DNA sequence: AAGCTAAGTTAGGTTGGCCTAAATCATATG
DNA sequence: CATATGATTTAGGCCAACCTAACTTAGCTT
């Protein structure tokens, strides 16, 4: 009736679940310090919140060994990822936002929008399936395309791939990637890599460029044969 | 840079300022109990918040005699009214919402949207000037059309008018008004009124109807000669 | 003028979410 | 296998925003 359905979690709880989901997918259980650094919060505060999340049945906590989402926690996390990504996609496609300006806006709106609004936004832009940074949008039912991708940092010389997705949490990095043409859909060839964390040279759409391993780690590709 | 500009008030503070603005416009100073009933909050809680608002320079409080907005408080209140109404207008015009579903959604989104988003929404629907319920939308600079209106309850028999605005805070009332044709723009003639709070008979677009004085008080018209 | 009543404030409590500083734990390594 | 180190939790605070219960004030009304 209100549009928000029964569940009522606070915005901080929703943000914690999102980052726990992402850490868990990358590294098994989510460690306190990982959560803390992702949220820019003191580790002690995370310990406190983890207790509350466990009390609410959203995570399982093994003391000193990190947390894992329960089924309910995962459901909420996927719901938030859907909201975040639908909003990002809507802002770029319907309201003319650049891809580097949508993340912060979505980070707040995701907690305020009703399910109905999310569904209407998704429909209004033709249900694109991915957000502006290539991240898959979960369905209303929580289905998501979880396929594993390879980052540019892992590519071998002469390997070719197509950019599928980039990290979206740093606006200036997004702008730089945009300048280089490293956007979803772009074809890339890894040329060579200097040792000891040196630059990685790439061919992107007939241009060449060299990027550091850290930046390369935030661009994921589908390897082509 | 973040899109939210320097000011950072909490959502409750923003909601208090909005209702204080509206009460003050209708009845001079805003009394504690008026604020409390509009926000569905205990009067004691309002006393506490009023102190915080006064500490922040948003209201002047004369003990036992209500609060008035300071210039800064009024600025913030008008900014919130703008946000609320732009969002309502956008939801109906761009996303197909009915006029009875937009208020609750706007009540939350108004605290989360950046100024940029509000401006983009307004531009996307052609800056209509009023929200779906006929309420004027303040400009970015805080200008608002403050003209006084007459409610249907104050009309004399045989007087004619055009509906300009209706109260938007009760969805079922909005639906009923919609059924009766009492929507902004509709021409109305007051036929007669029964004494002792009895029904008010109206002609609305060639149909006739009778409504109670309370409902009549939530429809404002511009009187025609 | 005294007293009643409604409005308003104060006192004291709760909850969520953050903090710093001080323990405590797990574990790798010498 | 003892210990140093880093990760984690606990202890103790703070602040916003709510609550109920008890008290105080303003403004009549008799
Ligand atoms: Mn968020
Ligand atoms: Mn994204
Ligand atoms: Mn609100
Ligand atoms: Mn409205």
User: Cα(A39) to centroid of ligand 1, in Å?
Assistant: 10
Q: Give the pLDDT score at A196.
A: 84
Ligand nearest to the CA of A85: 2
**Interface membership of B5 toward A (CB under 8 Å):** no
Burial B157-175 (b: 16+ CB within 10 A, else e): eebebebbbbbbeebebbe
Residues B150, B159: Cα–Cα separation, whole Å? 11
More confident call, A146 vs A6? A146
State the Rg of chain B over Cα. 19
Q: Give the pLDDT score at B6.
A: 52
Q: Give the pLDDT score at B156.
A: 93
| Residues of B with Cβ-Cβ distance to A122 under 8 angstroms | none
Contact B3 A124 (CB under 8 A): no
**Which residues face A151 on adjacent strands?**
A220
| Residues of B with Cβ-Cβ distance to A95 under 8 angstroms | 117, 120-121, 124
Q: What is the mean pLDDT of residues A159-178?
A: 95
Q: In B, residues 81-110, which contact A (CB 8 Å cutoff)?
A: 91, 94-97, 101, 104-105, 108-109
Strand D, nucleotides < 7 Å from a protein CB: these are 7-12, 16-22, 25-27
Q: Give the pLDDT score at A56.
A: 96
On the question of pLDDT at A67 being above 50, the answer is yes
On the question of pLDDT at A2 being above 80, the answer is no
Q: Give the pLDDT score at A6.
A: 54
Residues B111, B94: Cα–Cα separation, whole Å? 20
On the question of pLDDT at A164 being above 90, the answer is yes
Lowest mean pLDDT, pick from A6-10, A84-88, A116-120: A6-10
Residue showing tokens 């028999």: B157
| Residues of A with Cβ-Cβ distance to B94 under 8 angstroms | 94, 124
Q: Give the pLDDT score at A5.
A: 45
User: Would you say the CATH fold of A150-223 matches that of A1-146?
Assistant: no
Q: What is the mean pLDDT of residues A81-106?
A: 98
Alpha-helical segments (H) within A56-154: 71-95, 102-109, 115-124
Domain B1-146 CATH assignment equals 1.10.10.10: yes
Nearest Cβ partner of A104 from B3, B111, B124? Answer: B3
On the question of pLDDT at A1 being above 80, the answer is no
Q: Give the pLDDT score at B148.
A: 87
Domains of chain A, by residue range, sit at 1-146, 150-223
Q: Give the pLDDT score at B213.
A: 92
Question: Given pLDDT bands bounded at 50, 70 and 90, which one contains residue A7?
Answer: low
Longest dimension (CA), chain B: 60
Q: Give the pLDDT score at A3.
A: 36
* CATH superfamily, with its number, for domain A150-223: Ferrous iron transport protein A (FeoA) (2.30.30.90)
Q: Which residues of chain B have pLDDT under 50?
A: 1-5
Q: Give the pLDDT score at B203.
A: 96
Ligand nearest to the CA of B105: 3
On the question of pLDDT at A173 being above 70, the answer is yes
Numbers of helices and strands, H then E, in chain B = 8, 8
Contact at 8 Å (CB) between B200 and B208? no
| Nucleotide closest to residue A16 (CA–C1') | C17
User: Cα(B131) to centroid of ligand 4, in Å?
Assistant: 6
Adjacency order of strands within the sheet including B200-204: B150-151, B219-224, B160-166, B187-193, B200-204, B207-211
Question: Given pLDDT bands bounded at 50, 70 and 90, which one contains residue A220?
Answer: very high
Contact A120 B96 (CB under 8 A): yes
Q: Give the pLDDT score at A197.
A: 83
Average model confidence (pLDDT) across chain A? 94
Q: Which residue is nearest to nucleotide C10 (CA to C1')?
A: B44
**Interface membership of A9 toward B (CB under 8 Å):** no
Which H or E run includes B83?
Answer: helix B71-95
Q: Which residue is nearest to nucleotide D22 (CA to C1')?
A: B44
| Nucleotide closest to residue A12 (CA–C1') | C17
Q: What is the mean pLDDT of residues A10-26?
A: 97
């Amino acid at each position: 009736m209100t549009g928000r359905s029964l569940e009522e979690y606070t915005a901080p709880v929703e943000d914690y679940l999102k980052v726990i989901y992402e850490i868990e997918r990358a590294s098994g259980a989510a460690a306190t310090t990982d959560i803390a650094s992702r949220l820019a919060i003191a580790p002690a505060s995370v310990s406190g919140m983890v207790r509350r999340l466990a009390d609410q049945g959203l995570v399982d906590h093994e003391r000193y060994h990190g947390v894992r989402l329960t089924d309910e926690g995962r459901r909420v996390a996927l719901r938030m990822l859907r909201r975040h990504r639908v909003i990002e996609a809507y802002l770029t496609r319907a309201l003319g936002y650049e891809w580097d300006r949508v993340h912060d806006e979505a980070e707040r709106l995701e907690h305020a929008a009703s399910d109905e609004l999310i569904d209407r936004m998704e429909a209004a832009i033709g249900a694109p399936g991915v957000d502006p940074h290539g991240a898959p949008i979960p369905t209303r039912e929580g289905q998501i395309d979880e396929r594993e991708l390879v980052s540019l940092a892992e590519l071998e010389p002469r390997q070719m791939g197509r950019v599928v997705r980039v990290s979206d949490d740093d606006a200036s990095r997004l702008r730089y990637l945009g300048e280089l043409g490293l956007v979803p859909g772009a074809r890339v060839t890894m040329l060579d890599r200097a040792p000891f964390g040196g630059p990685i040279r790439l061919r992107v759409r007939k241009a060449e460029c060299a990027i550091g391993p850290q930046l390369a780690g935030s661009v994921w590709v589908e390897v082509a044969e």
